[in-house]
Each structure stands twice: as structure tokens, then as C-alpha cells.
Chain A
Amino acid sequence: MSLAARARLVNPRLGIYFSIFASTFAALVIMLVVLEELGIGDDLVRLAMLTGLLGLFVGIGLLGYTREPLEYFAAGRRVPAVYGGLGLAMSGLGATGMAAVTGLLFVVGIDGIFFISGGVAGFVVTAVLLAPFLRKFGAFTLPTYLGRRFDSRMIRVVSAAVLAVPALLVLAGELTLGARTIGWLTGSGAYTGMAVLIGAIVAGTVAGGMRSLAWTNVAAGIAAILAASVPLAIAAILSGYLPLAPLSHGPLLRAIGNLEGVQGLPVFFEALFGANLPQSGLQPVLKRFSEPFGATGPAAYVLLTLTTMMGLAAAPWLLPRIAMSPGVYDARKSLGWATFFFGLMMLTAATIAVFMRGYLMKLAGVSIASPPEWLTVLSQQGFAEVATRGTRIALTGVSIDRDMVIVALPIAAGLPMAFAYLAAAGIIAASFAAASATALTIGNLLSEDIVHGLSWTPREPRGRLGMARLLVGAVALFGGFLALAAGSDPLKLLLWALAMTASCAFPLLVASIWWKRVNVYGAFASLTAGFLVSVIVIVAAEAGLIGLPSELAAVIALPASLIGLVAVSLTTVPPSRHQLELVRDIRIPGGEILYDREMRMMKQKDRKRA
């Protein structure tokens, strides 16, 4: 009987809806390619690509309108595993993963793979250690979970304030990249781009909250996968490889290695703990692609992998979305799908980097006076720069914009410009997905756990959702302001945010499920020690006070957080019987959702009192 009830929750037409979306998007792209070949104005093609994409997202977001808190905060708990996984992978990746990491792989080659392996490992760790239990608990935000788990309002408010910081860093990074890409597409600069992006994000999320977010992110995922893989597949066919480029480009990679040897590109090694990751902007290629440990030392590589893994596993902008899956089994499965989609997208990104290196290798020795046409186009767009020393192009004299490598590939392959706009649309889609996820997470943290954080009884739905909607808009605006004012490197912001969540949230979340002895004091010590130490280390490293790269802040902050957690828990009173009973219930997949049970019991108590 209840099997039917759960199966009925999931919309059986989802596949049809998203097939319609995918074919609409594909039709738009094909139409623009045809129109471009027919000689229609370039401006119109760019504008149609942008408005078509964002229009579809905003439309899907608005269709998700709801007045129910369960729908607004948990998408009605009926997002099937595949869709949930695609959304998780997309907002874990974001424009930073799509554009900046492609550029990172292009510049430093194999040393950038720490982000790929760390990311997939993060989803595996979430699936095993956290997801099933957080889904069983069913709280709408992480601070609500921590607050109920430790039966403490203080930990709820403090964790909300702490977890909002890394999410805000990611939001600023995503908005920076998205606004820049929109600015390039419309030819009107980053300020207009920022205004358009924030407008779209607010319109696409306030109507339905998590419900809108779940479905717009699936659409963004489909658009981003098409945008990354279609130009790549065409470029692969043109260069004589099978269209399944991530698996077929091996010979190209070895040919690049041989050419690098002929050209005398240096092999060098970074110090054990050194990490010299490229900044955003124009970057020359200094390192051979498949020779490891030239940009990150061996220890730094492993530590960066682990930081990415733990940071993504405890990311406050991803974990609340686990509450959207229909059950505990589906929660585990959706993390499996997230691993698949994340791996697929990142291997595509790595392949794009290899192909772009391949085009770059062909430049060596060409006369500076007559560069190939694609290089001229890239220079005109400001994505490339050629050093004017000597008469022939040297490999190390060509600088390519790190964040635009993915857009540069279709141009270098000689495809119609519409494909470059498609790649840009992919960046915008990824940025839309991650920025709306972070903005909504922070908005929910603020409205649920800070503004109304001192009371466990939720407000009546109208006021509750009104406040949440208002705060999402405010957070998006503030994030845009921050992005324009600071203008920092999105990749660095993401790695800082991951270092922070890895040190302040990861040990605490894992212990709250797997270690019964942890108590509220230990939780508080872990949260504050992890956060403060990671911030201090990042600031000190950026100021050059310590010899550790700021991306590795978790190396010091995570042990500090762990020591705080264990030492303070063991030296203070053991947790109460109610808390122990709660942990035992969290560990069992079956039975009532604990958050719902607690809310129901609270209502009964109130009624008895009245």
C-alpha cells in the first residue's frame, strides 16, 4: 500500500518534460548555427543564445511556484535519484568547475586532476558517511539538523553564521564568472552581466525555493553537458578521433608529450608542500601536460585532493538537497548519480584542455606575422595574447585566458561562432546552477536558523516563506555586490570555501552520526576552532606570513577542529538520553522522518499546554 504511496509521489512525466527541454535547447542551437551561416547579424545570435537559455531556466523556476513549506524547502521530497544526482553534480561543479578548472588543467595539465578525483571522492564519501542519515533526519537546513541533533539553539545559530561564509565565497566566485561570460556574450561589460544574472537567479528561485532549484538545476545540467561535449565531439571528429573524445584522445595526448619534448618545454618539480596554481587571466603554458608534480608538490597534490573531497562532502550548499530525495535508498543512489555526472563533466573538461593544448602545439614555429585565423580571433576577443619577441611564435610566448579555454576550443577548431556561444552558454548554465544553489542555501540559513533561529516551532507558512523569499533576493544582491567589489579569482574562492567546510563542518557532521559520545560542547569547539583557524591560516598565507599555500589551509585547521571535537567532548558531560536515542534512530533507515516526528510532537505538546 505504502509502496504505491511513495511511487505516486514521483512525477512520471519528468523524463518527457526534460526531453522537451533538451530538444528545445538543441533546436535553439542548431537554428542559431544555421542562421549564422545564412549571414544573420552576430549580435542577434549572441542575444538569442543568452535569452533563450536564461528564459528557459526562469520559466522552469517560475513554474515551480509553491506556498507549501515542504515544497519550498525540500521540493516535496520527491526528486528521483537521477535528477537529484545531476543537480548535485551541477551545483558542486558550477562555472568554476566547468570554466576555471578546464583552464587549470590546460595550464598545469595532470596536476589539476586533484579537483576531479577529489570531487568524485567527495560524492562517494557523502554517499557512505552522510547522505542516508541526513535524509533519514530530513531537516531542511544543516544548522537545523545540528541544532536538533545536539538539542541546542546556540549551535543552530552559530553554525548558520559560520556555514554561510564559505557558501558566500562560492556565490561570489560563481557570480564573477557568470557575469563575465554574460558580459562577453552581450558585449556590454561585467556590470550589465551581473545585473542580468542576478535578475535571472532571483526570478528563477524565489517562486519555488528548493523545488525550483531542483528542476532548474537539472535543466542547467543538461545544457552544460551538451555545451561542453558537443563542440568537443565535433572537434574530435575533425582531428580524426572517435566522437567519444574523453576515451579516444589518448594518441593525441602522447603526441603532445613528444612535441613538448621536441620543443624543450621544461620539466620541473614543485616543493613537497608547494602549490603554484594559475591565477585567473591570461596564462602562458609553462609545464608539460602529463609530467606530474610541476605545479603542486606530491604532498600538496594529495592534500588538495583530500581537501576537495572533504569540503565537497560537507558543503552546506549541497547537503540540504539530500532532503529532496524520496527515501534513504534513493538518497544513496542520487549520490551515485552525482558521482557519475561529476566524473563525466570533469573528464570532458580534461579532454577539452588536452585538445586545446593540441591546437597550441601546432602554433610552435609559425611566423608571428601570419598567425592562424583562430589565434587572431582569440586575440581580438581578448582571450589570447602572443609575445612579439622574435619572428616565430614560441610555445611559452602564447598566453590563453584561463577561464575561457572552454570557449576558445570551438574557435580554435574552426567551428562557427555559434558553438563558442554555446560553450559560453554552458558556463552561464553552470554558474546559474551553483549561484542559485548557494544563494538559496544562505537565504534559507538566514531565514530559518538566524532570524527565526531561537524558536523551534516554525512560523505559519506565509510569513515563513515570505521571509525566505525576501532573504534569497537580498543574498543574491549582496553576493553580486561582493563579487564586483572584491573581484577575486573564482577558483581560489572555491578552494578556500572547500578548505573552510572541510575543517569546520566535515569532522562535526561525521561525528554527529558515527560517534555517540560527541556532545554539544565538542560540536561547538569543532565548529569554531575549524572556522577560526582556517580563516587565520588563509589570511596569514595570503599575507605571506607562513610558507603554506592558502589553498591548503585545512592541513592545519582540520586537525585543530578534530582535536577540539574529541578533547572537549571527552572532558565534558556525556550527551543526554534523548540525544542518544536520536542518534540510534538516525542510524536506522526505516521509520518516520525524524524532523517530521519532532515537529509533530512539539505541536502535541503545545496543544496540551493550551
Chain B
Amino acid sequence: MIERKERKPYWQHTKWQMIASLVPFLIVLIVLPLYADPLNHNKFLGFPLGYFLIAHGIVIIALVTVASFVNRQDYIDHWHGAHEDS
């Protein structure tokens, strides 16, 4: 069980992790499609690069983001003793 004075640092840490996970991902999500057309002149694995990045690329970035979030947040939980008793 978490100690009372650990609550505030725990939440600060969690908040920074949230920002670190979401902000870069959302920037990519919003900005990347706007550059799809110029990127399409290049190719990758035979795909037009712009198409590949906004279809496969965003899915891969999302998976990396969520996987790193799950691991980092679990580490934060254990560091502050906020994890489940399990």
C-alpha cells in the first residue's frame, strides 16, 4: 500500500509520463498526414512512402507508444509503491 506522503510525487510522475506518451504521438498523428503527398514520391518496401507512413506507420508508432507506456507506468507504480497488492 502506498504511503500518504508518496501520493503527490507519484501523481507528478504519472502526469509527466502521460504527457511524454501522448504529446509526441498526437503531434505525429496530426502532422504526418499533411505531408503524405510530398512523401509519396519516395518509396519504401515498394509502397509510396506517404501512404505507408500514415497507414502502417501510425499503427506501429501507436503500438510502440502503448507498449512503452505500459512498461514505464508499471515501473512508476512499483517505484512509489502504488502497485496493486496482487
Check if B47 sits within 8 Å of A250, measured CB to CB: yes
Q: Are A588 and B45 in contact (CB under 8 A)?
A: no
Q: Is the CB of B37 within 8 A of A343?
A: no
Contact with B along A222-254 (1 / 0, CB 8 A): 000000000000000000000000111111011
Nearest A residue to B69 via CB reads A128
A332 touches B37 (CB 8 A): no
Partner of B37, one of A249, A292, A329, A340: A292
User: Which residues of B are found within 8 Å of A317, using beta-carbon distances?
Assistant: none
| Separation of A249 and B48 alpha carbons in the complex (Å) | 11
Which B2-36 residues have a C-beta within 8 angstroms of A? Answer: 2, 7, 10-11, 14-15, 18, 21-22, 25-26, 29-30, 33-34, 36
* Residue contact B10 to A588, C-beta cutoff 8 Å: yes
Closest B residue, CB atoms, query A334: B70
Which of B62, B73, B85 is A124 in contact with, Cβ under 8 Å? Answer: B62
The reply to whether A2 and B86 form a contact with Cβ atoms under 8 Å apart is: yes
Q: A250-281 vs B: 1/0 string, CB under 8 Å?
A: 11011001000000000000000000000000
On chain A, the residues within 8 Å of B37 by CB distance are 291-293
Closest Cβ–Cβ distance, residue A170 to chain B (whole Å):
22
- Is residue A395 contacting chain B, with contact meaning CB distance below 8 A? no
Number of A residues with CB within 8 Å of any CB on chain B: 56
CA A51 – CA B7 in complex, angstroms?
55
For residue A350, which residues in chain B have a CB less than 8 angstroms away from its CB? 55
A305 x B30 contact (CB < 8 A): yes
**Stretch of A28-36, A114-122, A139-147, A499-507 at the chain-chain interface:** A114-122
Once the chains bind, are B46 and A257 in contact (CB under 8 Å)? Answer: no
Inter-subunit contact A3/B46 (CB<8 Å): no
Q: Is the beta-carbon distance between A124 and B47 smaller than 8 angstroms?
A: no
Instruction: Tell me which residues across on chain B come within 8 A of A254, comparing CB atoms.
Output: 43, 46-48
State the Cβ distance, A78 to closest chain B Cβ, in Å.
13
B44 neighbours in A (Cβ, 8 Å) = 250
Write out the residue numbers on chain B whose beta carbons fall within 8 Å of the beta carbon of A124.
21-22, 25, 62, 65-66, 69
Number of A-B contacts (CB under 8 A): 154
Evaluate contact between B85 and A590: CB separation under 8 angstroms.
yes
**Cross-chain contact B62 with A121 (CB below 8 angstroms):** yes
What is the distance, in angstroms, from A61's C-beta to the closest C-beta of chain B?
30
Tell whether A120 pairs with B70 under 8 Å between CB atoms, given A3-B86, A257-B48, A589-B82: no
- Name B69-86 residues within 8 Å CB distance of A: 69-70, 73-74, 77, 81-86
Residue numbers in B under 8 Å from A291 (CB-CB): 37, 40
Closest partner residue, chain B, to A241 (CB atom):
B46
Contacts of B25 in A (CB 8 A): 121, 124
Most buried by A among B21, B47, B51, B54: B51
Cβ contacts under 8 Å, B83 to chain A: 329, 589-590
Contacts A123-B66, A254-B48, A332-B69 given; indicate if A113 touches B55 (C-beta within 8 A). yes
In the assembled complex, how far is the CB of residue B16 from the closest CB belonging to chain A, in whole angstroms?
A: 12
Q: How far is the CB of A593 from chain B (nearest CB, A)?
A: 10
Q: Which residues of A contact B34 (CB under 8 A)?
A: 298, 302
Which residues of B have CB within 8 Å of A302? 30, 33-34
Does any Cβ of B come within 8 Å of A529's Cβ? no
Interface status of A402 (Cβ within 8 A of chain B):
no
Which residues in B have their C-beta under 8 angstroms from that of A125? 22
Cross-chain contact A343 with B69 (CB below 8 angstroms): no
Flag if A588 contacts B2 (CB, 8 Å). Answer: yes
Cβ of A257: which chain B residues have Cβ within 8 Å of it? Answer: 48
- Beta-carbon contact of B86 and A343 below 8 Å: no
Taking the nearest CB of chain A, how far is it from the CB of B50, in angstroms? 7
The proximity string for A residues 76-113 relative to B, scoring 1 for CB distances below 8 Å and 0 otherwise, is 00000000000000000000000000000000001001
Most buried by A among B1, B54, B66, B83: B66
Residue numbers in A under 8 Å from B82 (CB-CB): 588-590
A591 at the interface (CB under 8 A from B): yes
Assembled-state Cα–Cα distance A14/B81 (Å)? 32
A577 to chain B, nearest CB (A): 15
- For A129, the chain B residues whose CB sits under 8 A away are 18, 22
Q: Within 8 Å CB of A132, what residues of B?
A: 73
Is A150 an interface position by the 8 A CB rule?
Answer: no
Q: Which residues of B contact A127 (CB under 8 A)?
A: 66, 69-70
Complex formed: what's the CA distance from A329 to B76 in Å? 12
Q: How far is the CB of B12 from chain A (nearest CB, A)?
A: 11
Residue of A at shortest CB range from B52?
Answer: A250
Residues in A325-354 with C-beta less than 8 Å from chain B: 327-329, 332-333, 335-336, 339-340, 343, 346-347, 350
8 Å CB contact of B21 from A128, A249, A290: A128
Residue of A nearest to B15 (CB): A514
Contacts of B18 in A (CB 8 A): 128-129
How far does the alpha carbon of A456 sit from the alpha carbon of B43 in the complex, in Å?
Answer: 60
A389 CB–B CB distance under 8 Å: no
> Is there a chain B Cβ closer than 8 Å to A459's Cβ?
no
A121 in contact with B69 (CB, 8 Å): no
A584 at interface, CB cutoff 8 A: yes
The answer on a CB contact under 8 Å between B29 and A117 is yes
4 more A-B contacts (CB under 8 A) besides A2-B85, A3-B86? A290-B48, A291-B40, A306-B30, A350-B55
For this complex, 30 residue pairs linking A to B, each with C-beta atoms less than 8 Å apart, are A113-B55, A116-B55, A116-B59, A120-B59, A120-B62, A120-B63, A121-B58, A123-B62, A123-B66, A124-B66, A125-B22, A129-B18, A250-B44, A254-B43, A290-B40, A290-B50, A292-B37, A292-B50, A298-B34, A305-B29, A306-B30, A339-B62, A340-B63, A343-B62, A346-B59, A347-B55, A350-B55, A514-B15, A591-B2, A591-B85
